[in-house]
Chains A and B, each alone.
Chain A
Amino acid sequence: MKHRLQFTGKKLVRMALLLLGVSLVTFLLMCASPLDPLQTNVGQVALGSMSPEQVERLEAYWGVDTPPLQRYLGWLGSVLHGDFGTSLLYRQPVLDVIGQRLSNSFLLLAAAWVISGILGLILGVTAGAFRGKLPDKLIRGYCLLISSTPAFWLAILLLLVFSVWLGWLPVGLSVPAGVAADAVTFADRFRHAILPALTLSITGVANIALHTREKMVDALESDYVLFARARGESNASIVLRHGLRNVSLPAITLQFASISEIIGGSVLVEQVFSYPGLGQAAVDAGLGSDLPLLLGITVITSAIVFAGNLIADLLYGVVDPKIRRGAARE
């Protein structure tokens, strides 16, 4: 137990350093951005008609007149006090915006994560078990095709087929347009999440399936599978009892590592579907020079990704008997 606490402690320190680094890089990128916050957000014409005092106040609002170092340290100082600042675009506390957007995206991200994980595992195990035969060729072909397809293009394609031609599903947004917020049902939200979630799942599956297939092939070529075969175990028993068991450990790592890909993918996909989620907010913040919001989103999503990897590491300790029993013996 002491060992595991130590392990978790070390990981948390690394997480703090990582978040610091990520926020710094985001800040520097933002500083290097050629976009002038005033021109983008207020507009050239409006700016021209303003008095110098007004322009000055706007510059102060967008932080243009503050030296970068001072701006970053100021942000860092308040974050350490738990204050992520106020979004310049939404004029709401950053954490409120993120909370609201994340709750919109959550359904989408969770569905895509679970579907791509389960489907990827099933496809990967099947392909590995039928190595070199038709099911393997079909699955591998599909995975390679999907891996080389950009997610946003696939999103447009699905939109075209299911929303425009067939008219089965809504074209965009997370709720029907023109309906009062409290009149929106779960079914409405669900219908709007289907296409974006599907896009994310389809692209996520390929990676997981291909990796799982490799692990399955490794397992089936191992000595212990040879011996299981020599002992008269059937192919089904070998795949289910030995293959699946030995694929489970790498599958856990893959599954939690894929969180980052799902979040990354959601930025593009939400943009295509005009889905008001975290990904879209990130794009808005980036293009609109909303520094507090962008930093907040980056830090929070990095923390989620890191937490995912941490969970995978900790689950290893539960699933892998070498770590579990090794730690118990100490």
Chain B
Amino acid sequence: MEPILEIRHMSVFFTQYERGIRKRILPVIRDLTLSVEAGEIVAVVGASGSGKSLLAHGILGILPYNSHMEGTIRYAGESLTPERSAKLRGKEIALIPQGVTYLDPLMKVGDQLRKGNRSEAVRSRIRRALERYGLGAETEALYPFELSGGMARRVLIASAVAEDPRLIIADEPTPGLDARAAERILGHFRELADEGSGVLFITHDLELALTVADRVAVFYAGETIEEASAEDFKEPERLRHPFTKALWRAMPEHGFKPISGAQPYPGAVLAGCPFAGQCSDCLPECKTAEEIPLREIRGGRVRCLHPYGERKKEETI
């Protein structure tokens, strides 16, 4: 079956002016490849500043005016042009944003979800969506500042669900929630996926992602460096990229070992592997290689010259 969303070699660039004169083109996402099947939750995991939100905005066609995008995005088998994404966003493709600041502070929740459409059909659709998440009709008359953190999160999910979307993009939908509340929210995503929607779940929290996702794409400095199934994380030797390994070791139950150094800023790395500076297994060619291709290994994908697994093979020989 064709995936509901298929991103190939997507790059996002920002045009900046240095000291007001010199134009600089800054790559924020580089050569990203990712797919989401219907009924599947794919988590995109990466540190803040790795370009995750721009991925969501790129799919929805709402990137800021000083940026442009390259590569192809296919939605339900057809190319997702800017015109098509303008038509589909908010209908078949829905965004679930981070929190209450994404609601207009001066507009009542109900008015906001209805998007200015007063018809009875829309009214009852919104009411049903809110009810599904335990929010009564009185919620519609509230202003965003009157919602609790958890309520706001449920309102945002309801806003997506009300449209009956086939693809849901959730951009960090759980920060500030305690573990139990976060799990409840993720449970809603599982439910939506089980009903047949594809869910792209963008987060910085690997541990949380693994509780719900089918597949995990690891994002580093604007690149996908590994795509692995959630199963792979149960046996760390199945993981392919040194960064993913390091992430795994940084999880509290696996030793809580921090990764030294910091992720480079977008545009800082011009050649070689962006992770080279933090990698414990870095080799000379890692810093000079013109391009490091995304390779398929063990049913997943990795962007590394010497991924784990292959390396073992070399060692045994």
Contacts and interface: CB of A to CB of B under 8 A. Distances in A.
B145 A227 contact: no
Contacts of A147: none
A230 interface: yes
Nearest to A232: B90
Contact of B107 (A132, A245, A249, A322): A245
Contacts of B65: 132
A224 B103 contact: yes
A224 B105 contact: yes
B143 A321 contact: yes
B90 A224 contact: no
A215 B71 CA distance: 35
Nearest to A249: B106
Q: Identify whether the interface residues of A are mostly helix, strand, loop, or mixed.
A: helix
Interface string B77-107: 0000000001111110011011001111111
A245 B115 contact: no
A223 B101 CA distance: 6
A249 B104 CA distance: 14
B4 interface: no
Q: How large is the interface on B (under 10, 10 to 19, 20 to 34, 35 or more residues)?
A: 20 to 34
A321 B62 contact: no
A320 B104 CA distance: 12
B103 A245 contact: no
A249 B60 CA distance: 31
Contacts of B159: 231
B65 to A, nearest CB: 8
Interface in A215-263: 222-224, 226-233, 237, 241-242, 245-246, 248-249
Contact of B106 (A227, A228, A246): A246
B145 A226 contact: no
B102 to A, nearest CB: 4
Contacts, number: 73
B296 to A, nearest CB: 32
B95 A227 contact: yes
Contacts of A57: none
B116 A223 contact: no
Central interface residue in A224, A227, A233, A248, by most chain B CB within 10 Å: A227
Given A231-B115, A237-B115, A245 B146 contact: no
A4 interface: no
Contacts of B104: 224, 228, 241-242, 245-246
B97 A223 contact: yes
A76 B105 CA distance: 48
Contacts of A232: 86-91, 115
Nearest to A228: B104
B231 to A, nearest CB: 32
A325 interface: yes
Contact of A226 (B62, B91, B107): B62
Contacts of A132: 65
Given A230-B60, A232-B89, A245-B107, 12 more contacts: A132-B65, A222-B101, A224-B103, A230-B90, A230-B97, A231-B90, A232-B87, A232-B88, A232-B115, A233-B90, A237-B115, A242-B107
22 contacts: A222-B101, A224-B101, A224-B105, A226-B57, A227-B97, A227-B103, A229-B89, A230-B90, A231-B95, A232-B86, A232-B89, A232-B91, A233-B116, A237-B115, A241-B107, A242-B104, A245-B104, A245-B106, A249-B106, A321-B143, A321-B145, A325-B146
